[in-house]
Amino acid sequence: MSTKTPPSVMYTAATHGQASEAPMTDVQRQKLRELALEADEPMDGELTQLQAQKRIAALEEMLGR
């Protein structure tokens, strides 16, 4: 039984540190948009850099990348 968070779950956990609280970068936004579209998953445009990084990794894993 896997305890991994499914990719469809939005990452909203509290984070600490300046970089983790900054809005996602334009590069992250574009990558997330492409992956979400390909995976037929929702796109959350309000993620922090850390949340976007985790979401991108989850979508890439889901897509077998």
pLDDT means over runs of 10, the chain (65 residues): 46 50 96 97 95 97 95
* Predicted local confidence at residue 48, as pLDDT: 97
* Predicted local confidence at residue 8, as pLDDT: 46
* Predicted local confidence at residue 35, as pLDDT: 98
Contacts of 8 (CB under 8 A, 6+ apart): 41, 42
* Predicted local confidence at residue 51, as pLDDT: 97
Distance CA 25, CA 40 (A): 22
Any idea where the domains of the chain sit in the sequence? 22-39+46-62
Reference 19, options 8, 9, 28; nearest CA is 28
Whether this prediction's pTM lies above 0.85 is answered by no
